[in-house]
Chain A
């Protein structure tokens, strides 16, 4: 009896041990789940996102991707809430806002140890300006974007005006815009810049709002080059060849430029980007692309960007997260998005295979891609937008609203030196020079 009991007990314990071992073994083999928040867009539609996940999981059976696909207009609120709460943020996401940068993981070591991917694989300026912060690699540039001038060929033909060429100047822009404007057709020649010290400011005179050492505003914001740029803006507004800010607000697409007016043929020229280019091409618009105008003897600048794809600093699986990040923002992931969506990859080797690479508009885009970026200066001067530009917005508004005369531009800028200097001195100790 006792022997039978012992035998049963041994059997039971053995079974339990086996069960525990199998459970433990299963736990050790459980795949790691990486959470990923992303956006559905024309460049990267939902099927492309699903295809990236499928391809990655096929290559990495030990890693599962839990993807949340969001609408563009929802993304900022979602990220701000999760980062503000300090938990619940995704392992991988776009960290495009500057205040989100401190929440990114430094992946410098991961990238250096990666045998399949290096920073040299990317467009150099896009990598340096958008993936590096405070000397650390904080993400990988996913896609590239740039501003350029799109011109509606039908509108030019209708007005009997020659198409613009890459060597045009800012003053040519105003003359062409005037020639295209037709009040009877409610048509404007061209749009207005959407802020100072972007590409056209740099193209007119390499204008900067303050000195390279972040110490002095006087002589920069009100210097001769800046005055020339603001005066050019005054002339453009005065020409009546551009829609007013109210027109753009009412008729244009919110926050994304006047692409709707351009597509409708009511705007002859518009400073848009490659996303708009795809939209216009899909709408059947007959258009061309040229770089933003510049003064021939000056260096050409471009307002360009990349989407920063990063790992959240609070991730519990940094290695697995990097595996996925380097797949998604690496050649495989960007190629999938280019082929299924309309992504412009940030890797020259992948972009070379762009399906519509022979088109005029794609060639035009490639023409601006490698110009010096305005971000080169801005990226190392965090105070330029947050403090200084805000403090001088009065000059912009007064000109936009036609509230000052042409010969008052210099005096208006002189009057703004003091508040801009104060803003700079307050900002530099806080954010760095």
Chain B
């Protein structure tokens, strides 16, 4: 009996402690979720403010107290923004530039990185360092020589200055890809070579399929950088209808004032493609970044 009581007591204690653990876990989860929800809302505030501003009249934008949800939403702001400048055309232009740059990156980066990661050739390390050193040169410094060069080539006013560099490899992506390929066991190359594959066959059949996380990083980063690029399009493009959306948005900032309500509406629409691509690519992107070792 005593033994039974003791066993019962132990069972009750076990149940209690299990219940306590569950409660603690539940509270822990609730706290974590509350924190995550709070942070998510905090990070969404600017986008919410942007959406709110896009529906306000100019006098309401900086009014105090601020009106988070406009009492009379000005839906016409969107039509006005898109009617004032050819923003749809600009978004299409941005999409063309993004696709052309992504293709360029996907063609050039794996080939160059494969060379650095798998082959021995004279001055390999010097060339790799030289390539890395180009990352240290601020972009602004290169603008005048690039402008001069493209002017000589007669390419100013075309998309070529914005596309061509991608086909010669971006040093940042080459560095990432080289490091990634170095983590792939060489035995796979050897096995493929024994089976009769040449270097190109190994690259396209073995290396590239295994590099999907790194290639996702190339695609997403290229998308975001090219979509947001402002400086190079303003230097190299000349035609009103050829500007990307980043330049189109700048038209809302005049010499004396900013048309905030139109600017916010146009910006909100312009970031939608980035949000959509991030939504679909985030799993690969986070996996890719983690596997390459980039944080933040």
B61 CB contacts on chain A under 8 angstroms:
260, 263-264
Say if the beta carbon of B257 comes within 8 Å of chain A.
yes
Complex partner residue of B253 from A72, A77, A87, A264, CB under 8 angstroms: A72
Tell whether, in the assembled complex, residue B256 and residue A276 are in contact, meaning their CB atoms are under 8 Å apart. Answer: yes
A312 CB to nearest B CB, Å:
14
Known pairs A72-B255, A275-B255; A88 contacts B59 (CB<8 A): no
Tell whether, in the assembled complex, residue A260 and residue B256 are in contact, meaning their CB atoms are under 8 Å apart. Answer: no
Complex partner residue of B255 from A185, A251, A256, CB under 8 angstroms: A256
B203 CB to nearest A CB, Å:
39
B62 CB contacts on chain A under 8 angstroms:
251, 260-261, 263-264, 266
Tell whether, in the assembled complex, residue A259 and residue B256 are in contact, meaning their CB atoms are under 8 Å apart. Answer: yes
Tell whether, in the assembled complex, residue B230 and residue A253 are in contact, meaning their CB atoms are under 8 Å apart. Answer: no
Complex partner residue of A77 from B234, B238, B239, B255, CB under 8 angstroms: B234
Complex partner residue of B151 from A39, A66, A88, CB under 8 angstroms: A88
Please, how many angstroms separate the alpha-carbon atoms of A264 and B234 in the complex? 33
The interface on chain A, measured as residues whose beta carbon lies within 8 A of the other chain's beta carbons, has a size of 47
Tell whether, in the assembled complex, residue A263 and residue B58 are in contact, meaning their CB atoms are under 8 Å apart. Answer: yes
Tell whether, in the assembled complex, residue A275 and residue B256 are in contact, meaning their CB atoms are under 8 Å apart. Answer: yes
Q: Which residues in window 231-248 of B have CB below 8 A to A? A: 231, 234-235, 238-240, 247
Question: Which segment of A14-22, A279-287, A318-326, A419-427 sits at the interface?
Answer: A279-287
Question: Which segment of A40-48, A164-172, A294-302 sits at the interface?
Answer: A40-48
Tell whether, in the assembled complex, residue A74 and residue B247 are in contact, meaning their CB atoms are under 8 Å apart. Answer: yes
A190 CB contacts on chain B under 8 angstroms:
none
Q: Which residues in window 253-288 of B have CB below 8 A to A? A: 253-258, 260
B174 CB to nearest A CB, Å:
27
A284 CB contacts on chain B under 8 angstroms:
59
Known pairs A74-B247, A260-B62; A84 contacts B144 (CB<8 A): yes
Instruction: Please give me the residue from chain A that is nearest to B145 by CB atom.
Output: A85
A84 CB contacts on chain B under 8 angstroms:
144
B239 CB contacts on chain A under 8 angstroms:
68
Residues in chain B within 8 A of chain A (CB atoms) = 57-64, 85, 143-145, 147-148, 151, 156, 230-231, 234-235, 238-240, 247, 250-251, 253-258, 260
Residues in chain A within 8 A of chain B (CB atoms) = 39-43, 46, 66, 68-74, 77-78, 81-82, 84-88, 185-187, 251, 253-254, 256-257, 259-261, 263-266, 273, 275-276, 278-279, 282-285
Assuming A40-B251, A259-B256, what are 16 further A-B pairs, CB within 8 angstroms?
A46-B240, A70-B234, A73-B250, A74-B230, A77-B231, A84-B144, A251-B62, A256-B257, A256-B258, A264-B60, A264-B62, A264-B63, A265-B63, A275-B257, A279-B257, A283-B59
